[in-house]
Amino acid sequence: MADIAFLLLIFFMVTTSLQKEKSIAMQLPPPYDGPAGQVSDSRVLSLIINADNNIMMEGEAISQDIQKYIQNHLSSMVGADKKPYISIKLHENSNYNSYIELLAQVKESIKAVKSEYAITMYDTPFNQLSREQYASLSKKLSIRISESQFVS
Amino acid sequence: MIRKKAVRKDIEFNMTALPDIVFMLLFFFMVVTVLREDDTRLAIDMPYATHTDVMDGDDSTIQLSLTVDEQQDIIYFLEGGEYKGIETLRANISNLRVRHIADPDIKVKIKIDKSIAMKHVNKVKLILQEYEFYKVAYMIQRKQD
């Protein structure tokens, strides 16, 4: 009896895994007060969340699949050898939920573009690239995200 | 004279009660143990998201949470402490700079209620930038399909 109980106990102790926490990681930039830098319009993808928590692009609401939309833009910029620059403008009254939703879509599309290029450039899935391949791909696909707040 | 050799008898314990004791201890600790309790008094309804980044369990972290109370005031929780007002939070974040010096890669785990307006989130971000806490992780709930 005791043997069986211990066996079960040890079995469940070994197989149980506690639920891992999930997060979206971001690297904040150092504080900057200087003049705004100039980035050519052709490599900026400007996304806006308005006060009603709608995601807008160049003043128009995006009706189609947002992730596909961002992904298409990024991949055409990278195709034209431009380093994409994603600008996220948030209305001060937009809520955190819409921000995280957009951030997740942006991150997913960056991931998709990266794996797409890993296949076309090296014929290998992104997670199986060698260190050198990974470095050169990351260099080609350096995608910056900037965030700012606006008031209406 | 023949000396009678003392026969040393092995003492035997009765082991029947051992499992009882072990189980009693097991149940005692199972009941008493609490997994890391939520460090906040108020419930935080974090947003759902489809994307998640891998988080290294070994990273040293600072816990920061934002939520609203019944009076719709913003409440900040930082490392177990509860604060009201952004300036109080700033003072307490500046107190954590020692931790940052000890470990420059320290991560700030941020739990924010999904209803919070971005202006409050941005204020917190500015403070973190000011005190050079650049690595942040926005905690989320994964979308359940």
Give the model confidence (pLDDT) of A50-96 as tens digits: 899 888 887 677 777 888 888 888 888 888 888 888 999 999 999 99
Instruction: Please report, as a single letter, which amino acid is at residue A72.
Output: N
- Give the ipTM of the model, two decimals please: 0.81
Q: Which residues of A touch B18 (CB under 8 A)?
A: 2
- pLDDT given for residue B145 in this prediction: 47
- Which band of pLDDT confidence, cut at 50, 70 and 90, is reported for residue B142? low
- pLDDT value at residue B123: 93
Single pTM value for the model:
0.79
Supply the pLDDT for residue B53.
Answer: 85
Closest A-chain CA to B136 = A26
Q: Distance between CA B111 and CA B140 in Å, rounded?
A: 8
Which of A63 and B119 is assigned the larger pLDDT? B119
pLDDT of the residue at B144:
58
- Cβ neighbors of A85 (< 8 A, separation 6 or more) are A39, A43, A44, A45, A143, A144, A146
pLDDT at A93: 93
Residue A46 has pLDDT above 70, yes or no: yes
pLDDT at residue A20 is higher than 80: no
Question: Which residue of chain A comes nearest to B114, CA vs CA?
Answer: A97
What pLDDT score does B143 carry?
Answer: 59
Distance of alpha carbon B126 from alpha carbon B93, whole angstroms:
11
Are the CB atoms for B106 and B134 separated by under 8 Å?
no
Which residues, including other chains, have CB under 8 Å from residue A75's CB and lie 6 or more apart?
A113, A116
Given this model, what pLDDT does residue A132 score? 86
Q: Which of B30, B39, B52 to mutate to test the interface with A (most CBs of A within 10 A)?
A: B52
- pLDDT tens string B32-88: 877 665 666 778 888 988 888 877 766 788 999 999 888 888 999 998 889 999 999
What percent of chain B is modeled with pLDDT above 70? Answer: 87
Based on DSSP, count helices (H) and strands (E) in chain B, helices before strands: 4, 6
CB pairs A-B closer than 8 Å: 119
How many alpha carbons fall within 13 Å on the CB side of residue B35? 2
